[in-house]
Amino acid sequence: MKVTIRESTVHGEAHAPPSKSYTHRAVLAAGYSDADEEIVVHHPLLSADTKETMAAVQAFGGDVLEIEGAIEVDGFAGEPEVPPDIIDCGNSGTTMRLTAGAASLVDGLTVLTGDVSLRDRPNGPLLDALRQLDVDVESREGGRAPLAIVGPTDGGEVEIPGDVSSQFVTSLLMAGACTEEGIDVELTTELKSAPYVEITEEVLDAFGVDVERTDDGFHVEGGQSYRPEGDEYSVPGDFSSASYLLAAGAVAGDEPVHVHELYPGAQGDAAIVDVLDRMGADVEWDEDAGVVTVEPSDLSGVEVDVGDTPDLLPTIAVLGAVADGTTHITNAEHVRYKETDRVAAMATELEKLGAEVEEHEDELVIHGGDSDLEGAAVDSYTDHRIVMSLSIAGLVAEGETVIHGGEHVEISFPGFFDVLYDLGADVHRESEEPEVPPKPTE
C-alpha cells in the first residue's frame, strides 16, 4: 500500500491500541494454562504479529477463538504437542523467540520459520541456551530460521548474554515454569531492554507464576501452573504505538491531542512522555484517567539513551529532525537487530526528507537545527515502526511524503492511518505492487 501524507495539522481525541508486547505474552501464557475453563484475554491487539502467536498456540495443541473484544484460549496445560506442520511465524520475531521456549518442552520435533525478513534475524544466544538445557537445535548460520527444535527439556541452568534481545530471557522464563526442575538464567552481560522482561514478570505474576530475581539473572521454579485470577486477563494500552500520536501532537498540532488508555505499568516506552517533556513539549499525563495530553510545542534537541527503549528510536529520530539543536540517540546498537536495521533505516530515510543525520555504530545523531524537511518518496523496509515514524515526519515536511509499504502497520497498529485521519491529517492510501524491502546503506 502506498500512503501519501501532505503537510497538515492534527488535534483531538485518540485511543492507544492494546499493547502488542502484553498480548503476545498473555496469549502464550493462556496457552500454557491448565484451567478447567477457557482463559479469556480481554482487550487484545488483533494484528498480524499477535495472530501468529495465536496460531502457534493452536499448533501446540491449544484452542484459540476470537470473540468480540477478546480471545478465548483453552490451553495445552504446560505440555505442548508435536505441531502437525511447520509453524510459520510470519514477520513476528516475538512469536518465534517465545515459542522456541515452548518448543523445548515438546517431546518431538518443532520447526519454526518466517518470512524473508524474519529468517534474517539472529537467534543464536537463545538456541545456545536451549542446547545447555539438553535440547537438540538446528538452524542456519547465526541461529537464523528455519529452526528445528527437539525436546523435551527437564530444565536446568543456562548462561546467556542480556544485550542482544530480552525476548530470549522471556522465552526461557515462560517455558521454565513448566519444566520439572525449573530454569536458572545467568546473564553474562548487562540486560538491555529490561522493561520488556519486567512486562513478562508482570504477566506471569497475573497468571500465578513466580519468577525470582537473582544476583546475576533470574530463577523460575518448575512445576508451576498458569492460571489468572477469575480465568481472565486484560491487556493495557500500548505506549510504543502511542508514541507516534504523541509526537504528532507535539510537532503538528494546532490544538491539543489527547491519547487515552495509557496507564502506569512496566512498559519502558512510557519514557516517551519524559522525552517529550525534556525536549520542551507541553505534555501532561493524568495517570489515574490514563490520558496523556500534548500541545503543539517548540522542541529542542536532547540526548536519549534507548538501551531499555529500542522501539522509541524511530519516534525520537523524527522529533529530533523537527527540534532545534542536536538530538543524540545513544546506546542503540541492539536496535539494528529488529525487523530491520532501524538505525540505518531512519538515517537513510530522514536524509531523503532533508534531515542532517550522522549514523554511528551505537548512536544516531540528528541535527534538527540544520534540517529543513521536504516531502519525498521514502521506504518502509517492511517495518511497521519505520512506516509510522515517517508518517509523523510527513505531517511537517513541505509538500507530499510518499511511503511505500504502508500496509505493514498491520503488525502492531492496524488502525493507525484511520486514527491519523480522524485527528485531521491529510492522508491518502492506494494499493500498489508488493514491496521488495531495500537494504539500508552502510
Residues 208 and 348 in one domain: no
Q: Residue 439 burial by CB count (10 A; 0-12/13-18/19+): exposed, middle or buried?
A: exposed
The answer to whether position 387 is within a domain reads: yes
> Residue 436: which pLDDT band, with cuts at 50, 70 and 90?
low
Distance separating alpha carbons of residues 261 and 245, to the nearest angstrom: 13
The answer to whether position 439 is within a domain reads: no
pLDDT tens profile 187-243: 999 998 899 999 999 999 999 999 999 999 999 999 999 999 999 999 999 999 999
* Residues 301 and 279: beta-carbon distance below 8 Å: yes
Residues 13 and 103 in one domain: no
At 393, phi and psi to the nearest 5?
-60, -35
User: For the chain, what is the radius of gyration of the CA atoms?
Assistant: 21
Residues 165 and 76 in one domain: yes
Look-up: residue for cell 484475554? 41
Active-site amino acid positions:
311
Residues 122 and 217 in one domain: yes
The answer to whether position 441 is within a domain reads: no
The answer to whether position 412 is within a domain reads: yes
Residues 190 and 267 in one domain: no
pLDDT tens profile 241-265: 999 999 999 999 999 999 999 999 9
The answer to whether position 357 is within a domain reads: yes
Which one of 185, 204, 234 terminates a domain?
Answer: 234
Q: What CATH code is carried by the domain that includes residue 299?
A: 3.65.10.10
pLDDT tens profile 315-366: 999 999 999 999 999 999 999 988 899 999 999 999 999 999 999 999 999 9
Distance separating alpha carbons of residues 318 and 276, to the nearest angstrom: 12
Which one of 234, 269, 301 terminates a domain?
Answer: 234
Parent domain of 253: 2-17+237-430
Residues 107 and 210 in one domain: yes
Once rounded to an integer, what is the mean pLDDT over residues 1-11?
Answer: 97
Which one of 202, 234, 266 terminates a domain?
Answer: 234
Residues 161 and 144 in one domain: yes
The answer to whether position 112 is within a domain reads: yes
pLDDT tens profile 402-434: 999 999 999 899 999 999 999 999 999 998 765
115's grid cell: 518470512
CA distances for 336 relative to 77, 243, 330, 403, angstroms: 36, 20, 13, 21
- Please enumerate, by residue number, every residue annotated as part of a binding site for phosphoenolpyruvate: 20, 93, 121, 167, 342, 385
pLDDT tens profile 55-113: 999 999 999 999 988 999 999 999 999 999 999 999 999 999 999 999 999 999 999 99
Residues 401 and 425 in one domain: yes
Q: Residue 321 burial by CB count (10 A; 0-12/13-18/19+): exposed, middle or buried?
A: buried
pLDDT tens profile 380-396: 999 999 999 999 999 99
The structural domain count of the chain equals 2
pLDDT of residue 270: 96
Residues 224 and 359 in one domain: no
DSSP character string of 345-396 = HHHHHHHHTT-EEEEETTEEEEEGGG---B--EEE-TT-HHHHHHHHHHHHH
pLDDT of residue 439: 58
- Do you know the residue count of the chain? 442
The answer to whether position 438 is within a domain reads: no
Residues 215 and 103 in one domain: yes
Report helix, strand or coil for 24: helix
- Please enumerate, by residue number, every residue annotated as part of a binding site: 20-21, 25, 93, 121, 165-167, 193, 311, 338, 342, 385
Residue 440 clears pLDDT 80, i.e. is over it: no
The answer to whether position 153 is within a domain reads: yes
- Please enumerate, by residue number, every residue annotated as part of a binding site for 3-phosphoshikimate: 20-21, 25, 165-167, 193, 311, 338
pLDDT of residue 210: 98
* Residues 167 and 119: beta-carbon distance below 8 Å: no
Residues 286 and 418 in one domain: yes
pLDDT of residue 441: 47
Distance separating alpha carbons of residues 406 and 400, to the nearest angstrom: 15
pLDDT tens profile 259-317: 999 999 999 999 999 999 999 999 999 999 999 999 999 999 999 999 999 999 999 99
Distance separating alpha carbons of residues 357 and 16, to the nearest angstrom: 30
Residues 9 and 25 in one domain: no
